[in-house]
């Protein structure tokens, strides 16, 4: 999963930045060109995650329904 708006760095990311003498690691929240672009990508990502959760839930309910139906 791609994160567009990061809340912060993990300990390992921070240590990697300390050792990154060539400045090859991207900066904080610099994936998008504009804040609006970052918002659009974050919103798209959120919708995709919600859609995936809904799909997983519907599949789980279908499986449970099929099990219950066969056990009657």
Each domain of the chain, given as residue ranges in start order, spans 11-70
pTM: 0.52
Helix (H) or strand (E) holding 63: helix 35-70
Q: Quote the DSSP letter at residue 9.
A: -
Q: How far apart are CA 22 and CA 54, in angstroms?
A: 43
What would the pLDDT profile of 54-65 be if each residue is shown by its tens digit? 999 999 999 999
What would the pLDDT profile of 7-60 be if each residue is shown by its tens digit? 566 788 777 777 877 777 766 555 666 888 888 888 999 999 999 999 999 999
């Amino acid at each position: 999963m791609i994160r567009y708006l990061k809340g912060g760095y993990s300990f390992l990311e921070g240590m990697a930045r300390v050792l990154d003498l060539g400045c090859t690691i991207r900066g904080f929240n610099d994936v998008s060109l504009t804040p609006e672009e970052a918002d659009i990508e974050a919103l798209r990502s959120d919708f995709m995650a919600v859609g995936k959760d809904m799909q997983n839930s519907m599949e789980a309910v279908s499986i449970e329904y099929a099990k219950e139906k066969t056990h009657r």
